[in-house]
Amino acid sequence: MNIMLLGAPGSGKGTQAEKLVARLGYIQFSTGDLMRKQITDQTSLGLECAKYMNEGKLVPDKIVNAIVKDYLKSNSNKLIFDGFPRTLEQALELEKMLAEVDSKMDRVIYIDVAKEIILKRISGRIICPICKVSYHIETRKPLVEGICDNDGAALVRRPDDSPEKVAVRLKTYEADTKPLIDFYSNKPGFIHIEEAAELDGEIVYNMIEEALI
């Protein structure tokens, strides 16, 4: 079973993915995390991705599709697609890539969160550069300020979480990624979690888990 989490930046895709990994043994496949790792490692791919990511813009389809194709060679089941696809072009390519490895997308879960809430969430978000878990300075504080509960690393703010970059990312989401909701809503296995921010994170998780049966 493969799952896709769809939703705006800050809608909670990463947090729900973490739970699915810890509790059901899924593998989180986040194109953003993968590219941030390339940036940290200062590879040529990382440097190319950084040009777009640091501006809050999408990395070109050709680059991201190639990363995904490569990844699917070693893993093609029990994946949680978090942050991919983000364009219709990527979604169409993904169908082909999954078919090539005899796999498919079984569930597409749309976590629907209002824009005002997204802005509040991202403006207070801090992440662990090691384990990638995200915290919030008011609503999901680490046990010790500025330090990751899991591994003791110093928490950081993502460079693309600044207000100007977030504005660009949300515009990009509306223009390029939101059309994917129409694309997937007509397919079997589509689940829409409405007003997800009004629900406790555990309730959202339970809704996802039920949808996997």
Total residues contacting ligand AMP (rule CB under 6 A)? Answer: 19
The contact mask relative to ligand AMP for 105-144 (x = CB under 6 A, - = no) is ----------------------------------------
Cβ distance to ligand AMP smaller for residue 75 or 206: 75
Which range touches ligand AMP (CB under 6 A), out of 85-93, 98-106, 141-149, 186-194? 85-93
Give every CB contact of residue 182 below 8 A, 6+ residues apart in sequence.
none
Active site residue 104: no
Select from 4, 7, 9, 94 the one that contacts ligand AMP (CB under 6 A).
9
**Which one of the listed residues 107, 121, 165, 169 is annotated catalytic?**
169
Active site residue 121: no
- CA neighbor of 107 nearest in space, from 11, 208, 12, 190: 190
Least distance in angstroms from the C-beta of 78 to ligand AMP: 20
The contact mask relative to ligand AMP for 19-58 (x = CB under 6 A, - = no) is -----------xxx--x----------------xx--xxx
**Which one of the listed residues 107, 125, 132, 165 is annotated catalytic?**
125
The contact mask relative to ligand AMP for 138-177 (x = CB under 6 A, - = no) is ----------------------x--------x--------
Q: Which residue's entry shows tokens 């409405």?
A: 194
The answer to whether the Cα torsion of 194, 196, 199, 205 is positive or negative is positive
Dist. CA 59–CA 85, nearest whole Å: 12
- Gyration radius (Cα) of the chain, Å: 16
- 12: buried, middle or exposed (CB in 10 Å: 19+, 13-18, 0-12)? buried
Active site residue 157: no
Q: Are 58 and 90 in contact (CB under 8 A)?
A: no
Q: Cis ω on the peptide bond leading into residue 142 (within 30° of 0)? A: no
Q: Which of residues 184-213 bind ligand AMP (CB under 6 A)?
A: none
Phi and psi based region of residue 105 (left: phi greater than 0; alpha: psi -120 to 50; beta: remaining): beta
Which one-letter amino acid corresponds to residue 162?
S
Catalytic site residues? 13, 86, 125, 158, 169
Known binding-site residue numbers:
10-15, 31, 36, 57-59, 83-86, 90, 125, 128, 131, 134-135, 148, 151, 158, 169, 199
